[in-house]
């Protein structure tokens, strides 16, 4: 909390304020002559982390000059700054700007700022701040980060009967079933490493892409290998798709 003492205002404002002070029955004054229009600031329920500001207005209604020597807060969340203007002649008006920073504070708020003058026999005037802030949560703060979730169809690929030396091309579809953006890093097979490295745009939620791969039949007989797809899915960063068939002469 920061407090700043404002310099005197125009005469027209002074006259209006003086009338207001006379009209208010609960105005607070010191023996030195300072009269505050209001000494209570009810901030209410604070729902944001933005600074809250309020002005406490006063007037020297006495016959002698009054000097404000210091402003002291009652908690560590406040700080007092006095401007160059410290002496107020009879009839002069001033303002104290109070700024409350809610960051790091929780629950019920009750604090005060004490205004000390050069009259050592007069008690300090208290400016009260009251309000409420959200209660502190116990334990660590939970932060939910949207993650992608990869889904591949079909679950298996059967290339059937292939002739030796034949290159069979097949396609699979990759979908994003999560909330965050899905990115396919690359995909390859056991026989053909680095089939394709992808630099495509991210796959949005419930959207999909089609991948094209191939298998080259080199040895006769039944075969089984895997198409490996790598993505940024934190739960399933690697998906292995079974690819089967038989190679004949």
Give the HSE-up count for residue 242: Cα atoms under 13 Å, Cβ half-sphere: 7
Phi, then psi, of 15 in degrees rounded to 5: -65, -45
**Residue 15: which pLDDT band, with cuts at 50, 70 and 90?**
very low
- The residue with greater pLDDT, 245 or 199, is 245
CA distances from 65 to 120, 144, 202 (A): 14, 60, 71
pLDDT computed for residue 82 by the predictor: 52
152 vs 174: CA distance, rounded Å = 5
pLDDT computed for residue 13 by the predictor: 31
171 vs 248: CA distance, rounded Å = 22
Is the domain spanning 2-133 CATH 2.60.40.10? The answer is yes
**Average pLDDT taken over every residue of the chain:** 76
Q: ∠ at Cα 54 (126, 80), nearest 5°? A: 55
Percentage of the chain with pLDDT > 70? 74
**Residue 8: which pLDDT band, with cuts at 50, 70 and 90?**
very low
CA distances from 30 to 62, 173, 178, 188 (A): 9, 81, 66, 84
**In the chain, count of helices (H) and strands (E)?**
1, 19
234 vs 249: CA distance, rounded Å = 43
In the chain, CATH 2.60.40.10 covers: 2-133, 150-248
Q: Across residues 193-208, what is the average pLDDT?
A: 69
Torsion of CA 216, 217, 218, 222, to 10 degrees: 140
pLDDT computed for residue 28 by the predictor: 53
pLDDT computed for residue 84 by the predictor: 58
- Res 241 pLDDT > 80: yes
pLDDT computed for residue 174 by the predictor: 94
Helix, strand, or coil (residue 203): strand
Q: Across residues 106-129, what is the average pLDDT?
A: 85
In CATH, the architecture of 150-248 is Sandwich (2.60)
- The residue with greater pLDDT, 38 or 19, is 38
24 vs 38: CA distance, rounded Å = 9
Percentage of the chain with pLDDT > 90? 18
């Amino acid at each position: 909390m920061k407090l700043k003492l404002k310099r005197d205002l125009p005469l027209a404002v002074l006259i209006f304020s003086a009338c207001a002070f006379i009209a208010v029955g609960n105005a607070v004054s010191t023996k030195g002559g300072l009269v505050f229009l209001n000494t209570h600031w009810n901030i209410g329920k604070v729902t944001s982390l933005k600074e809250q500001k309020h002005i406490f207005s006063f007037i020297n209604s006495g016959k002698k000059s009054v000097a404000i020597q210091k402003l002291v807060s009652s908690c560590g969340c406040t700080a007092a700054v006095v401007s160059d203007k410290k002496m107020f002649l009879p009839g002069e008006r001033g303002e104290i700007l109070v700024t409350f920073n809610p960051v790091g504070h929780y629950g019920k708020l009750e604090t005060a700022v004490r205004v000390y003058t050069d009259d050592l026999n007069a008690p300090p005037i208290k400016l009260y701040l009251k309000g409420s802030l959200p209660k502190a949560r116990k334990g660590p703060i939970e932060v939910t980060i949207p993650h992608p979730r990869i889904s591949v169809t079909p679950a298996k690929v059967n290339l059937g009967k292939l002739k030796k030396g034949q290159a069979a091309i097949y396609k699979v579809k990759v979908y994003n079933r999560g909330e965050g953006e899905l990115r396919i890093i690359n995909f390859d097979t056991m026989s053909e490493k680095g089939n394709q490295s992808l630099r495509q745009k991210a796959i949005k939620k419930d959207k999909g892409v089609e991948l094209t791969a191939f298998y080259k039949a080199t040895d006769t007989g039944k075969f089984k290998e895997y198409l490996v797809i790598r993505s940024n899915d934190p739960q399933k960063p690697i998906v292995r798709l079974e690819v089967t068939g038989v190679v004949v002469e």
